Amino acid sequence: MININDYRYDLPDDRIALYPLAERDRSKLLIYRGGELHHSVFNKVVDFLPDNSFMFFNDTKVIPARIHFTKNTGAEIEIFLLSPLLPSTVVSQAMSSTSETTWTCTIGNLKRWKENTVLQKSIGESILTAELVDRESGDVRFRWNGNASFAEVISMAGETPLPPYLKRKAESSDRERYQTIYSHYEGAVAAPTAGLHFSEAVFQSLNEKGIHHDFLTLHVSAGTFQPVKADDVRDHVMHSEQIVVSRKNLENLLEEKRFVIPVGTTSMRTLESLYWFGVKLLMNSDGIFDIGQNDPYETYPSLPSRDEALRAVLKMLDTKGLDAIGGKTSIFIKPGYEFRICRGLITNFHQPGSTLMLLVAAFVGRDWKKIYESALENNYRFLSFGDSSLLLPDLKA
């Protein structure tokens, strides 16, 4: 049994950062290096990175996923986009649709949305409509006139989907600040918040030290905020998220003597999923990139090395003539997990008893308590808009 109560801690409400700092890179930085703790400021992160570091960033872009419709009666219906169904379940394809799309959503005030009632919202010179397709599952069909893509439509019609624990309404400034400066591919309903600290100046300092980086994509879903309700962590059902990895990602990983540091838990989950996809390919799987939450915990006769697994994925790309591959992952990184690719991690401070807290505990072991106690004692700000940490568990101080 892995008891979720062993991964809880007391987080006072006043330690949750409701807003970001005025300057992205001025947040505090806690460095955990081989069991020792140090404190600094994020714009000096380059000073604590190993010389052979190679960083991976998640370039997903947060969409304005919260849309409010007002009925003729004055009742307000809130629709929160979760995942696309039509014309494709692939986020990028659904976002580029120019006439209609169907998404699974969570719906606020659902009881006031009667059957066969079509909601309408004016967006510029166009009209966006919403029709309830399946009340039980929350499937909603959106239609609009004009030639705009759905991405453009919700940019005008939607609001920034701030995390529920912030307990405040989205403001205009959140459009920029709840977004990394390198966000590119639209589809996330939550930000990869470890990347919020990176500024142009920080990237410049990385370049000057010769620390290289690359981008991969995981479209963060609302499931990232799903609490662990089961007493035994192993009974928790993980959410699935769409990922895209490129040939360039693989080639960079296969470069010798690189110390791989993902920026954020989403980048870490993507990289570790890549290893398990390689394992499946070597076991003559169907070639579908879909990593289940328990795949790493199955019993295998033997497991390939990191490079063997990555080369298997690269070979598949070569065979199919692809430069990138999309897939899904529900990988559940919890205490007991053996990391195959990642050796460091940049991440914020997470909610007590969350799947992200379990990931951190899996990476640093029991020292997660020491790290979080130190952050609390030194007045660090927590969660999405909070401060940062650099975790290097296998390096000596």
What pLDDT is recorded for position 396? 65
**Percent with pLDDT over 70 in the chain:** 99
Mean pLDDT check: name the lowest of 191-195, 224-228, 243-247, 312-316. 224-228
**Which 8-state DSSP code applies to residue 339?**
P
Per-residue confidence (pLDDT) for residue 286, from 0 to 100 = 81
Average pLDDT over residues 2-11: 96
* Residue pointed to by tokens 């897939």: 327
CA–CA dist 217, 58 (Å, integer) = 5
Question: How many residues does this entry show for the chain?
Answer: 397
Report helix, strand or coil for 1. Answer: coil
Q: What is the per-residue pLDDT for 227?
A: 86
Q: What is the pTM of this model?
A: 0.95
* Cα gap 258→53, rounded to integer Å: 6
Contact 101, 150 (CB under 8 A): yes
In one letter, which amino acid is 8?
R
| Contacts (Cβ under 8 Å, ≥6 apart) of 158 | 63, 64, 65, 66, 67, 81
Task: Pull the structure tokens for residue 287.
Answer: 């070639």
Q: Could you report the per-residue pLDDT of 107-134, keeping only the tens digit for each? A: 999 999 988 889 999 988 889 999 999 9
**Count of other CB atoms within 10 angstroms of residue 376:** 16
Q: What pLDDT digit, counting tens, does each position of 142-172 carry?
A: 999 988 999 999 999 999 999 999 999 999 9
Q: Is the pLDDT of residue 256 over 90?
A: no
Of 38-42, 185-189, 225-229, 322-326, the poorest mean pLDDT is in 225-229
Per DSSP, the residues of 51-96 read: TTEEEEEE-EEE---EEEEE-TTS-EEEEEEEEEEES-SSHHHHHT
Looking at residue 271, its pLDDT comes to: 98
Half-sphere exposure of 96 (CA within 13 A, CB side): 7
Mean pLDDT of 84-98: 94
Return phi, psi of residue 274, to 5°: -60, -40
Q: Cis peptide before 12, with omega less than 30 degrees from 0? A: no
Rounded to 10°, the helix 265-282/306-320 angle is 80
- Residue 297's pLDDT band, with cuts at 50, 70 and 90, is very high
The full set of domains in the chain, from first to last, is 4-62+183-392 (3.40.1780.10), 66-159 (2.40.10)
CB 331 within 8 A of CB 277: no
Residues 282-289, mean pLDDT to the nearest whole number? 87
Token pair of 205, please? 């300092």
What pLDDT shows up at residue 397? 53
- Nearest residue to 382 (alpha-carbon basis) of 4, 15, 55, 7: 15
Q: What is the pLDDT of residue 226?
A: 85
CA distance linking residue 185 with residue 199, whole number of Å: 19
pLDDT in tens, 259-280: 999 999 999 999 999 999 999 9
When mean pLDDT is compared across 15-29, 32-46, 214-228, the lowest value belongs to 214-228
State the pLDDT at residue 101.
96
By the 8 A CB rule, do 114 and 167 touch? no
Q: How far apart are CA 239 and CA 221, in angstroms?
A: 8
pLDDT of residue 71: 85
Contact 271, 359 (CB under 8 A): no
- What CA–CA distance (Å, rounded) separates 27 from 18? 14
Q: What is the DSSP string of 218-241?
A: E---GGGG----SSBGGG-----E
Whether residue 182 contacts residue 59, with contact meaning beta carbons closer than 8 Å, is answered with yes
- What 3-state class would DSSP assign to 120? strand
Quote the mean pLDDT of the chain: 95
How does DSSP classify residue 354?
S
